Amino acid sequence: MNELGKALIADSYAAHPAHIVEALLPELAHRPVPSIPHTIYQELWHIVFWQQVTLDWVAGRETPFPVTPFAGFPTESDTQRETWDELRQRFIAGAQQAAAITSDAAHLEKPIRCPSRPGQPVRIMSVSEQLESLAAHNAYHLGRIVTLRQLLGAWPPPSGGFSR
């Protein structure tokens, strides 16, 4: 697997993404932390939201960019429709799908249309550039999840994680 694929699903830059979200009780995933805007569940839902948008764009489906930043986070009904474990599995499956795309070097150079914020022009990126953007986005939010787990006393996970 190349480095971009590892950044999406393996332990390229930090703990393995699947390890970061493992062995966490749903109660902790949904527990608010004072002065922190999102729960672990909401952070992972946001990752999965953008991961799916990226997979859509790479597949040639011009899924619209959300009208507001809040549209990329779950509503209460979104949270009630999907359990923590279902969300975790959807994240891992999507990350594996994104990582698999990186094995086709010719496809990585293909230009794709990536809708922008309302009122902004559509961006043209290579598949590789869009997956790099996804990897950076996931890394940011997975780091937030690690911090939340630390604050909740639920770090490191059983499979290990970087703790210092």
pLDDT the model gives residue 14: 81
Of 144 and 12, the one with more pLDDT: 144
Q: What is the pLDDT of residues 62-114, one digit of tens each?
A: 999 999 989 999 999 999 999 999 999 999 999 999 999 999 999 999 999 99
Q: Whole-prediction pTM value?
A: 0.95
C-alpha distances in angstroms, 66 versus 44, 115, 163? 17, 10, 34
The fold for domain 3-151 equals Four Helix Bundle (Hemerythrin (Met), subunit A) (1.20.120)
15 against 30, higher pLDDT: 30
Q: Do 47 and 137 form a contact (C-beta atoms < 8 A)?
A: yes
What confidence tens digit (pLDDT) does each residue in 9-25 have? 998 878 899 999 999 99
